[in-house]
Each structure stands twice: as structure tokens, then as C-alpha cells.
A = this chain, B = another copy of it.
Amino acid sequence: MSMSGVAVIGVGMTPISSTSDKSLTELFVQAAKEAIDNAGIDRVDAMYVGNMMSGFLQHQEHLGPLMASALGKEGVPTYKVEAACASGGVAMNVGMKAVLSGLDKIVVVGAVEKMSGYSTPEVTTGLMMAEDRLKVATSGVTFVGLNAMIAREYMHRFKVSHEIMAELPVLCHENALDNPKAQFHKRITVSDVLKSPLVADPLRLYDCSGIGDGAAVVILTSTEEARKFTDTPVEVAASSVASDTLSLYQRKDITMFEASRKAANEAYGRAKLTPADIDVLEVHDAFSVLGLMALEDLGFAQKGKGAQLLVNGECNRDGRLPTNTFGGLKARGHPVGASGMYQIAELTLQLTQHAAKCQVPNPSIGLAQSIGGIGSTVAVHILRRI
């Protein structure tokens, strides 16, 4: 990384919907065209497509040439990158390395997922592809069931009430009201969360992100080249990926994710920053408990104390650590393989002052955390206005 850094010079996102009539290709192309227009590029050297479920749900692989060809960019090197729900986050990491390698100058990195229109058993089986099929999925436990075990243990050990945990989905739904691309535009209260239907005890409907379709795309180039395309480039100050055991049963402590800590520490070290430097944050709140754990694993709160930041209003858009400012996975939506890329696109909008009604005051550094499976993959990105 001595030569030059990597910058984001354009972003595009589709609205997220569970009633989309768009195909996987149409979703990706819409976001990619928006990003390409936004960056003002006229050539593409490589394209990376993050996605988790297309083989299982759409019986479609080989998304690289599918998308490149649909964009009129056939010829470019292009492939799919997958790490379950962190597919978008790790695609960003792979794209960054491509630019750093010196081989690809202008890179399209996007991610897409289409989950609607399938039966609950199909989507449930699809999500469990993030865990061990032979040793865990065959037991009948679901993905939300595994996260419910985490929530139960976390709430018990740290004496965190459901009322307090519910502050996160309440905040996310509040923020999403200002995001026209969010899946949910509905204000909810703590009481609504607690009265919502039980999904997997203790997690209730409003603790869980929904099923949605969407695509997000960013354009990367070197920081040296970036100002040719935009007056407001955003540098990728760090991009770190860490893994852990694939399965929850293999962990000693299920109330923290070692991969989050490892990726975050590495990212802070590379960027020469600390948690106190972060002005805007996107955490992977697929389930409310994961958002609290993220605040702790990323260094913003002591173990078991993540919810205090929410209770104190620090995570509000006018607080010290604005979090999930476009609605997060819970309310912006969680098209699983694409969510990590939505985070990057949203942070870029924040850092370039293009976040419209979601804008927080003058942020210069943002951090995004994307989780694959039960904390088995974590991608942490730190973006910085330059």
C-alpha cells in the first residue's frame, strides 16, 4: 500500500423491496449504471460481483459475465465473490486488492441479491448455507435460531433487557424514514418491537431484518487518479477481512465475534486510527443483538454495554457516533450478499455530503462492518474523505 491508496469515486444503489419484479441482472445493472454515471467513467478494467444465493435460489452462477455483458462491458475480467451475508463486504476487499495490484485501474465492485418470490423453506435453507450444512443445518436449527441462542446468552450474561435491545431497531426505522431507497418506511416504538410476533425466542419480528432484493455498486480507482473523476474522492483507509470457525458450536464465547475484533483491530492499525476517530458507523444488525455486539467488538463500548450508546442517544444522527444512518440492515433492508456494499455506498454519500435527509454533520471518517454467517467472516472498512 506504499505506492498509492484506493478511492471510491462513484456509487449506485437500487431501492430494496420484497415485491420487486426485477431479475438479478436488472437489479445489478440498475445500480451499476447509476454508479458508472455517478463516477463519470468511460471504461472499466475489471468487475467483481458479490452475491450469496444465486446458485441455490435462481439456479444461476457465473454472474460476472452475466452482469458485464448486460452492461455492455463484455470482455473485462469479472467474477463472483462469496462469503455469505458478507459477500458485498469481501467483494470490496477483493476489488481494493485488484486496484492495489496495479493490474486494474478502474474497477466496478458491486453486489446483488434476490430473495423475494421464494418460499420460506427455500429462503431459510438458503440462509443456512452460511453455516455448516453437514454438521449443523441438518439438525434443523435455522439461521435465526442460531442468532436467538446468541441473544439469549447475551441478554442473560450482561443483564440486557429486551426493552434496551429494541432501541436499535427503533433507531434504524427512524433513520430509514429519510432514505427513499429503504425497504421499510414505518416508525416503530420499543413497545412495537416487544409486541411483534416471536420468530425464535427471544428474537421477535422487529429484532430481525427482512427479506428483500437489491443491488449496490461502487467504482474504485487509485487515490492518484481519483481527482480526475470527482472533487470529493473518498479513500479506502483500510479494508480488513477476518474469519472464524464456520460454526457457532465451535466457539468458546458466543457473545462476541472474534473475527469482528480481529478485522477491526487490523483496520484501525492500517488506517492509524482509533474508534474515537470514527464519525459515522454502519454495523451489521441483521438481528438486533448483533448490532449491540458490533458496538462492543468494534471498540465503541465495553463488553455488554453496547446498548448504553443507544440509550444515551449517541448513535442518533445528531449524536457522537451516528450509526446505521440510512436505516441499517433492519430498515434500509438486508439483501444478504449485497448489504455490505450498501454500507460502503452509504458511507460514501455521508462523507461526500450527498446523504440528503440522512446527512450527518460534516463527517470525515466512516467505518462499516459486514458479517458473513454467525460471525464466521467479518469485513471492516474505514473510509476517509480526502
A residues lining the B interface (CB < 8 Å):
1-2, 23, 25, 52-56, 58-66, 68-69, 74-84, 90, 93-94, 96-98, 100-104, 125, 128-134, 137, 240-247, 250, 258-259, 262, 372-373, 376-377
Contact = CB atoms under 8 A, between A and B. Distances in A.
Contact of A373 (B56, B62, B76, B104): B62
A246 B29 CA distance: 15
A240 B78 CA distance: 11
Contacts of A131: 62
Given A53-B55, A55-B55, A56-B59, A244 B65 contact: yes
A341 to B, nearest CB: 14
Contacts of A137: 59
Most chain B CB within 10 A, of A130, A243, A246, A377, is at A243
A245 B69 contact: yes
Given A64-B377, A101-B100, A245 B79 contact: no
A62 B376 contact: yes
A101 B90 contact: no
Given A59-B137, A76-B243, 5 more contacts: A1-B101, A55-B56, A60-B132, A62-B130, A77-B90
Contacts of A58: 133
Contact of A242 (B77, B81, B100, B246): B77
B74 A244 contact: yes
Q: Which of A59, A102, A247 has the most CB of B within 10 A?
A: A59
Q: Closest 9 A-B residue pairs measured CB to CB?
A: A55-B55, A77-B241, A100-B101, A61-B129, A97-B101, A65-B376, A60-B133, A62-B84, A80-B82
A237 to B, nearest CB: 14
User: Of residues A60, A61, A83, which shows the largest number of chain B Cβ atoms within 10 Å of its Cβ?
Assistant: A61
Nearest to A66: B246
Given A53-B61, A80-B82, A68 B129 contact: no
Contact of A61 (B64, B68, B84, B242): B84
B79 A80 contact: no
B133 A64 contact: no
A336 B333 CA distance: 35
Contacts of A102: 1-2, 100
A213 to B, nearest CB: 15
A372 B56 contact: no
A244 B61 CA distance: 15
Nearest to A51: B82
A74 B372 contact: no
B64 A243 contact: yes
A52 B84 CA distance: 15
A83 B64 contact: yes
B65 A372 contact: yes
Contact of A246 (B23, B69, B132, B243): B69
Contact of A93 (B52, B55, B77, B90): B77
A242 B47 CA distance: 11
B246 A77 contact: no
Contacts of A60: 129, 132-134
A78 B377 contact: yes
